[in-house]
Amino acid sequence: MKKLIIINGPNLNLLGKRETNIYGNLSFTDFFERVVNKYPNITLEHYQSNIEGELIDKLQEVGYSYDGIILNAAAYTHTSIGIGDVVKAIETPVVEVHISNTFSREEFRHQSYISPNARGVILGFGLQSYELAIQSFFD
């Protein structure tokens, strides 16, 4: 059984409440419950933090023992060299995910410090972006 983890960055704990015109009305907890039920043959976990160092610590913790990491670093995608460096350093493949199409938003969101070292990038499909990332580990 594959072991995957979804790691979410700042403000993603507010899904369902925050900018629903961009991120939708569903909370991540409700979405995650649906995904766990849809993929019973996967050990699926999730972690969220608003703190950059905690995200780096978690990536280091799971980066040598899991089959895959789905990372939505949120705003840190565009600012954190540290998160980009840890994605490069670990062995577990990382798929970068974004709920919105970051290229249709502000210019600063077009830069990612994660993408150069990610296995792939999925963005713009709402919460379904996470499911597409899960499916990418079963090719």
**Residue 108 has what pLDDT?**
66
Per the annotation, the verdict on 98 as an active-site residue is: yes
Residue of 23, 66, 113, 130 marked active site: 23
34, 44 contact by CB (below 8 A): no
In 3D, which of 133, 118, 139, 138 has the Cα closest to residue 35? 133
Distance CA 41, CA 62 (A): 19
Show the tokens assigned to 4.
């995957």
Q: Is the pLDDT of residue 18 over 90?
A: no
* 20 pLDDT tier (thresholds 50, 70, 90): confident
Distance CA 87, CA 94 (A): 7
4, 43 contact by CB (below 8 A): yes
* 38 pLDDT tier (thresholds 50, 70, 90): very high
Q: How does pLDDT run across 50-87, given as a tens digit for each residue?
A: 999 999 999 999 999 999 999 999 999 988 999 999 99
Residue of 76, 98, 113, 130 marked active site: 98
Q: How does pLDDT run across 105-132, given as a tens digit for each residue?
A: 767 667 899 999 999 999 999 999 999 9
Per the annotation, the verdict on 47 as an active-site residue is: no
In 3D, which of 40, 34, 50, 46 has the Cα closest to residue 5? 46
113, 78 contact by CB (below 8 A): yes
